[in-house]
Protein backbone atom coordinates (compact mmCIF):
# COMPACT_ATOMS: atom_id res chain seq x y z
CA UNK A 1 0.00 0.00 0.00
CA UNK A 2 1.14 3.55 -0.67
CA UNK A 3 0.08 6.91 0.68
CA UNK A 4 1.61 10.01 -0.94
CA UNK A 5 1.47 13.72 -0.03
CA UNK A 6 3.25 16.51 -1.90
CA UNK A 7 3.81 20.20 -1.28
CA UNK A 8 5.75 22.96 -3.01
CA UNK A 9 7.65 25.24 -0.63
CA UNK A 10 8.62 28.75 -1.69
CA UNK A 11 12.10 28.31 -0.23
CA UNK A 12 15.34 26.83 -1.58
CA UNK A 13 16.03 23.18 -0.91
CA UNK A 14 18.90 24.08 1.46
CA UNK A 15 16.45 25.79 3.82
CA UNK A 16 13.84 23.02 3.61
CA UNK A 17 16.48 20.37 4.45
CA UNK A 18 17.15 22.02 7.80
CA UNK A 19 13.51 21.70 8.87
CA UNK A 20 13.18 18.09 7.64
CA UNK A 21 16.29 17.16 9.65
CA UNK A 22 14.76 18.62 12.84
CA UNK A 23 11.56 16.57 12.64
CA UNK A 24 11.02 14.00 15.37
CA UNK A 25 13.35 15.77 17.79
CA UNK A 26 10.50 17.04 19.99
CA UNK A 27 12.37 20.33 20.19
CA UNK A 28 11.59 23.93 19.28
CA UNK A 29 12.52 23.37 15.61
CA UNK A 30 10.43 20.20 15.19
CA UNK A 31 7.73 20.71 12.53
CA UNK A 32 6.00 17.40 13.27
CA UNK A 33 2.73 18.27 15.08
CA UNK A 34 4.25 17.14 18.39
CA UNK A 35 1.92 19.35 20.41
CA UNK A 36 -0.86 16.93 19.38
CA UNK A 37 1.04 13.64 18.80
CA UNK A 38 4.15 13.16 20.92
CA UNK A 39 7.24 12.27 18.91
CA UNK A 40 10.78 11.26 19.80
CA UNK A 41 14.27 10.59 18.43
CA UNK A 42 17.02 8.50 20.07
CA UNK A 43 20.58 7.55 19.29
CA UNK A 44 22.91 5.11 21.02
CA UNK A 45 25.12 6.42 23.83
CA UNK A 46 27.99 8.53 22.54
CA UNK A 47 26.09 9.84 19.50
CA UNK A 48 24.57 13.33 19.51
CA UNK A 49 20.87 12.83 20.36
CA UNK A 50 19.83 15.13 17.49
CA UNK A 51 22.06 13.46 14.87
CA UNK A 52 20.61 11.52 11.97
CA UNK A 53 22.76 8.39 11.63
CA UNK A 54 21.54 5.75 9.15
CA UNK A 55 21.13 2.37 10.80
CA UNK A 56 21.42 3.88 14.31
CA UNK A 57 18.88 6.68 14.77
CA UNK A 58 15.54 5.52 16.10
CA UNK A 59 12.47 7.74 16.02
CA UNK A 60 8.74 7.57 16.25
CA UNK A 61 5.43 8.85 17.46
CA UNK A 62 2.74 7.23 19.58
CA UNK A 63 3.06 3.46 19.03
CA UNK A 64 5.06 3.71 15.79
CA UNK A 65 8.81 3.09 15.72
CA UNK A 66 11.21 3.68 12.84
CA UNK A 67 14.94 3.30 12.11
CA UNK A 68 16.66 5.80 9.83
CA UNK A 69 17.70 4.16 6.58
CA UNK A 70 19.09 7.19 4.75
CA UNK A 71 19.40 10.96 4.74
CA UNK A 72 21.50 12.56 2.02
CA UNK A 73 19.80 15.94 1.82
CA UNK A 74 17.47 14.77 -0.96
CA UNK A 75 16.05 11.51 0.40
CA UNK A 76 15.07 10.94 4.06
CA UNK A 77 13.81 7.40 4.64
CA UNK A 78 13.03 5.31 7.70
CA UNK A 79 12.12 1.65 7.98
CA UNK A 80 8.92 0.80 9.83
CA UNK A 81 9.63 -1.42 12.84
CA UNK A 82 6.70 -3.53 13.88
CA UNK A 83 5.72 -7.12 14.39
CA UNK A 84 3.45 -7.17 11.35
CA UNK A 85 4.35 -4.05 9.38
CA UNK A 86 7.06 -4.15 6.75
CA UNK A 87 7.75 -0.98 4.86
CA UNK A 88 9.14 2.53 5.00
CA UNK A 89 8.18 6.16 4.94
CA UNK A 90 10.11 9.22 4.01
CA UNK A 91 10.56 12.48 2.19
CA UNK A 92 12.02 13.23 -1.21
CA UNK A 93 13.17 16.78 -1.82
CA UNK A 94 13.66 18.23 -5.30
CA UNK A 95 14.57 21.75 -6.35
CA UNK A 96 11.74 23.34 -8.29
CA UNK A 97 12.27 26.84 -9.68
CA UNK A 98 13.11 29.12 -6.75
CA UNK A 99 11.58 26.62 -4.32
CA UNK A 100 11.51 23.01 -3.32
CA UNK A 101 9.04 20.21 -3.98
CA UNK A 102 8.65 17.74 -1.09
CA UNK A 103 6.98 14.36 -1.44
CA UNK A 104 6.11 12.29 1.62
CA UNK A 105 5.57 8.60 0.89
CA UNK A 106 4.41 5.82 3.19
CA UNK A 107 4.79 2.37 1.66
CA UNK A 108 4.11 -0.94 3.35
CA UNK A 109 3.19 -4.54 2.61
CA UNK A 110 -0.37 -5.22 3.55
CA UNK A 111 -2.43 -8.12 4.72
CA UNK A 112 -6.21 -8.02 5.10
CA UNK A 113 -5.66 -7.18 8.80
CA UNK A 114 -3.31 -4.28 8.00
CA UNK A 115 -5.67 -2.92 5.34
CA UNK A 116 -8.43 -2.80 7.93
CA UNK A 117 -6.15 -1.17 10.51
CA UNK A 118 -4.93 1.33 7.89
CA UNK A 119 -8.54 2.44 7.28
CA UNK A 120 -8.71 3.53 10.93
CA UNK A 121 -5.29 5.22 10.86
CA UNK A 122 -5.43 6.97 7.45
CA UNK A 123 -7.30 10.10 8.67
CA UNK A 124 -4.77 10.63 11.48
CA UNK A 125 -1.78 10.03 9.20
CA UNK A 126 -3.10 12.32 6.47
CA UNK A 127 -3.81 15.09 8.99
CA UNK A 128 -0.35 14.71 10.58
CA UNK A 129 1.51 14.95 7.25
CA UNK A 130 -0.47 18.00 6.08
CA UNK A 131 -0.11 19.65 9.53
CA UNK A 132 3.65 19.03 9.36
CA UNK A 133 3.79 20.64 5.92
CA UNK A 134 1.79 23.63 7.26
CA UNK A 135 4.16 23.97 10.22
CA UNK A 136 7.15 23.77 7.86
CA UNK A 137 5.74 26.56 5.68
CA UNK A 138 5.34 28.71 8.79
CA UNK A 139 8.89 27.89 9.93
CA UNK A 140 10.36 28.71 6.52
CA UNK A 141 8.49 32.03 6.47
CA UNK A 142 9.30 33.11 10.05
CA UNK A 143 12.47 31.23 11.01
CA UNK A 144 10.77 29.47 13.96
CA UNK A 145 8.48 26.46 14.20
CA UNK A 146 5.01 27.29 15.46
CA UNK A 147 4.29 26.46 19.10
CA UNK A 148 0.82 25.15 18.25
CA UNK A 149 -0.52 23.23 15.29
CA UNK A 150 -3.22 25.36 13.68
CA UNK A 151 -4.61 22.83 11.18
CA UNK A 152 -7.90 21.57 12.60
CA UNK A 153 -8.09 17.83 12.96
CA UNK A 154 -11.00 16.39 10.94
CA UNK A 155 -13.74 14.83 13.04
CA UNK A 156 -12.98 11.35 11.68
CA UNK A 157 -9.29 11.69 12.66
CA UNK A 158 -10.17 13.03 16.13
CA UNK A 159 -12.56 10.12 16.68
CA UNK A 160 -9.91 7.63 15.54
CA UNK A 161 -7.39 9.19 17.95
CA UNK A 162 -9.86 8.92 20.83
CA UNK A 163 -10.53 5.27 19.99
CA UNK A 164 -6.80 4.59 19.70
CA UNK A 165 -6.10 6.18 23.08
CA UNK A 166 -8.97 4.24 24.64
CA UNK A 167 -7.40 1.01 23.38
CA UNK A 168 -10.14 0.20 20.87
CA UNK A 169 -7.88 0.30 17.82
CA UNK A 170 -5.25 -2.48 17.81
CA UNK A 171 -1.69 -1.42 18.61
CA UNK A 172 0.75 -1.52 15.73
CA UNK A 173 4.10 -1.95 17.43
Q: What is the pLDDT of residue 11?
A: 97
Per-domain boundaries in the chain: 2-165
Summarize pLDDT for 52-81 with one digit per residue, the tens: 999 999 999 877 899 999 999 999 999 999
In this structure, CATH architecture of domain 2-165: 2-Layer Sandwich (3.30)
Torsion of CA 91, 139, 146, 130, to 10 degrees: -30
Cross-strand partners of 70: 77
Q: Is the pLDDT of residue 134 over 60?
A: yes
User: How many residues are there in the chain?
Assistant: 173
What is the pLDDT of the chain when averaged over all its residues? 90
HEC assignment per residue over the chain: CEEEEEEEECCCHHHHHHHHHHCCCCCCCCCCCCCCCCEEEECCCCCCCCCCCCCCCEEEECCEEEEEEEECCCEEEEEEECCCCCEEEEEEEEEECCEEEEEEEEEECCCHHHHHHHHHHHHHHHHHHHHHHHHHHHHHHHCCCCCCCCCCCCHHHHHHHHHHHCCCCCCCC
Question: Does 100 or 62 have the greater pLDDT score?
Answer: 100
Q: What is the pLDDT of residue 94?
A: 98
Q: Is the pLDDT of residue 37 over 60?
A: yes
Q: Are 40 and 61 contacting, i.e. CB atoms less than 8 angstroms apart? A: yes
Contacts of 131 (CB under 8 A, 6+ apart): 33, 36, 149, 151
Q: Is the pLDDT of residue 51 over 70?
A: yes
Amino acid sequence: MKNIHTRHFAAPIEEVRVWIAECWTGGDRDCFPHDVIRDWRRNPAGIDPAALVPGKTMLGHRPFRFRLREWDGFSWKVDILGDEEKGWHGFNLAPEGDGCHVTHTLSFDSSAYLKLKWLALTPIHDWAVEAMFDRMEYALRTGVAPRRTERPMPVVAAMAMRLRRAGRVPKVA
